[in-house]
Structure 1
Amino acid sequence: MLGNMSEVSVEDLTKEYGAYLMEGETIQTGFRLVRDVLLFTDKRIIDFDKQGATGQKMRVDSINLSSVIHVSAETSGFGLDDSEINISYITSPYYKANTGVSVSEKKFEFPKKYNIQVLYKQLQEIAYENHENLNK
């Protein structure tokens, strides 16, 4: 998801996207870019990509937080730069190296005014814990 997202209240996101949450899952924060939405829950990152002229068609993609293994961030500079967070995550069903692990990466851009440090720190703590658990 590329572009300049704006933060949306958890209450509004829960009303609109609560049906997509798993039992006991809660939204921590979320962002909107025109029609597309990005949610961070206590269990996963959910990307809603509305398609077509009316936006009735929608693709929903999830990244389990337990699969996140690396996080990088780039803060905005002077001018029109946005901030961004890149995450690398395991896409194969098994997370151990001897099972043929495959990894993917996704970039999320945030407006200059949004302080990405808190989100980066939370995701980095998750990635660190996942890394430690994988290498026990």
Structure 2
Amino acid sequence: MGLFNAFAGNLQQVSNDQLMQQYGPFLFSGEQITNGYQLIRDAVVFTNMRIIFIDKQGATGAKARYKTIHLDSIVDVEVETAGAIADDSEINITYLKDVYQRKTGAETLGEVTFEFPRKFDIAPVYRYLGELAMANRQRINAK
């Protein structure tokens, strides 16, 4: 079932030990992995500072591209829960692409969507990201 979900575009949770072994050298000082998910070769790693997207490239996957969304830039989160039969769950994150998070009226937003298998309990991930987005909005709008 895990391989089928991976081919269907769904992320599967991976142990923090395995993630640390593979991606630990790319963590910043003081950064810790909180959880992560694998999609065949690619991965998404959540840390206490950011979300890291690992895009393995080439036939062997030895080459990889690392993209980051800093947790303090997340401003909105949407969730779509799985249906009764074959639907998957999705979380859509909206984040500020601007380095300086000021009220300029010209913010640049980015979006990313994660798909999870139907049986995955998406509620804790949604609550975590949603609370983070609310705190970020309050912080940004208080300036």
Q: TM-score, normalised by structure 2?
A: 0.91
Counterpart position of 2:83: 77
| CA-atom RMSD in angstroms | 1.2
- Equivalent in 22, 38, 56 of residue 62 of structure 2: 56
SS at 2:104's partner residue?
Answer: helix
Displacement of 1:36: 0.4
Asked if 2 retains the 8 angstrom alpha-carbon contact of 1:94 and 1:101, the reply is no
Instruction: For CA contacts below 8 A with separation 6 or more, give which structure has more relative contact order.
Output: 1
Percent of residue pairs bearing the same amino acid type: 43
Gaps of 5+ in 2: 1-7
What is aligned with 1:34? 40
- Structure 1 spans left out of the alignment, 5+ residues: none
Instruction: With the length of structure 1 as denominator, give the TM-score of the two structures.
Output: 0.95
Shift of 1:99: 6.7
Equivalent pairs counted in the alignment come to 135
User: Within 2, Cα distance between the matches of 1:18 and 1:96?
Assistant: 32
1:119 matched to which residue of 2? 125
Is the CA contact 2:54–2:67 (under 8 Å) kept in the aligned structure 1? yes
Distance 2:21 2:58 in 1: 23
1:104 partner amino acid: G
Q: Is 1:6–1:32's contact at 8 Å kept on the other side of the alignment? A: yes
Cα displacement (A) at 1:82? 1.0
1:95 maps onto 2:101 in alignment: yes
Residue in 2 that maps onto 1:16 = 22
SS of the aligned residue for 1:73 comes to: strand
User: Runs of 4 or more off by more than 4 Å in structure 1?
Assistant: none
